Amino acid sequence: MRIALFSDIHANLLAFQAMLKDMDSLRPDAVYCLGDLVGYHIYPNEVIDEIRRRGIPTLKGNHDEKVENIITNAESLNEPGKKYAYHLIREDNKEYLRTLPAHIRLDFKMNNEKFNLVFAHGSTRTIDEYVLFDTDENYVLQMMEEADADLLFVGHSHKPYHRVIQTDGRFKHVINLGSVGKPKDGDPRGCYVMVTLDKDSSALTNDCIMIEFRRVEYDVEASAKSIEDSMLPDEFAASLRFAK
């Protein structure tokens, strides 16, 4: 079984379209989004509409959550600044974002052994907590035990990694998906993950799960220019060009 996972599109339509084209060519068996569809760019409705059209199960990210406190009127639609990105969102799409879940869980049973995948935007504890490559190992293990997770998939930091932690003869995996639309690891290409599970996948060995980080090129300059031509801050365009 192949599962495609992506996160942190941040309304970057060109990056999102490039990612979808690459993903569709691989024909995954399932697709999940870990949130942050909006913020930082001018195409939130186009991104949300495509997620909804495809029926992709999606989590609420911290930027999606911000929409709950945004009041949009004629004045705000003509006011430059960071919040402009949220005022662009149609009311029906705001309602969609408000109702997204915090976590998704997949429970497998292979060779009479349970094997659980848990998806969260920030962490299983809070939507805006960073689970980084060097987050304290004991803290991560405690969190995964609470969630009964063998594999924990997160986003939020925009920095991809795959971390394996051995404990009590089992192997726990923490995977950050990186970001489709706003990478922060110095590589401006969009990033998402393909996970391959087979009948031998197990928490008892560390090499029976295949995690592939897919980097996708898109027209970064055109995407950045569309920000500069809008009422959003130019710093958002620079962050795309330099992936910071």
C-alpha closest to that of 142 among 121, 124, 164: 124
Residue 212, by phi and psi: left (phi above 0), alpha (psi -120 to 50) or beta? beta
> What average pLDDT does the segment 34-60 reach?
98
pLDDT at position 112: 79
The answer to whether 181 touches 15, Cβ cutoff 8 Å, is yes
Inter-helix orientation angle 13-26/44-54, to 10°: 20
- Please write the tens of the pLDDT for every residue from 12-24: 999 999 999 999 9
pLDDT of residue 100: 98
70: pLDDT confidence band, cut at 50, 70 and 90? confident
Domains and CATH numbers, the chain: 2-242 (3.60.21.10)
d(CA 118, CA 106): 6
**DSSP state, residue 156:** S
Q: What percent of the chain has pLDDT over 70?
A: 99
> What does pTM read for this prediction?
0.96
Q: What does the pLDDT average to over 35-58?
A: 98
Q: What pLDDT score was predicted for residue 188?
A: 98
Q: What share of the chain is helix, strand, coil (3-state, %, to 5)?
A: 30, 25, 45
Residue-wise pLDDT tens digits, 214-238: 999 999 999 999 999 999 999 999 9
